[in-house]
């Protein structure tokens, strides 16, 4: 089963060649877990209505976590 995280972060200024979330991630303001993509999308939609997001100072990210590899069908 795949779970999703909805993350509200601060937007930081562009530095150098770009943004690298692995080396210097944006500061998180809020993190909410969801058990389905539909639930994650509804939460993200609510975050996108916030004034700071609409003004471009914060951003919303939906991240899939805990994915299980699908079993390959057996050749018969």
Decide if 4 contacts 65 (C-beta within 8 A).
yes
- Per-residue pLDDT tens digits for 25-61: 889 999 999 999 999 999 999 999 999 999 999 999 9
DSSP letter assigned to residue 24? S
Pick the most confident of 39-43, 64-68, 70-74: 39-43
Q: In the structure, what pLDDT confidence band is assigned to residue 75 with cuts at 50, 70 and 90? A: low
How far is Cα 18 from Cα 33, in angstroms, rounded to an integer? 28
């Amino acid at each position: 089963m795949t779970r999703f995280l909805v993350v509200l972060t601060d937007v930081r200024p562009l530095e150098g060649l770009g943004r690298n979330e692995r080396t210097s991630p944006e500061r998180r303001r809020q993190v909410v877990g969801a058990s389905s993509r539909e639930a994650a999308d509804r939460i993200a939609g609510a975050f996108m209505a916030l004034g700071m997001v609409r003004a471009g100072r914060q951003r919303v990210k939906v991240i899939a976590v805990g994915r299980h590899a699908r079993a390959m069908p057996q050749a018969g």
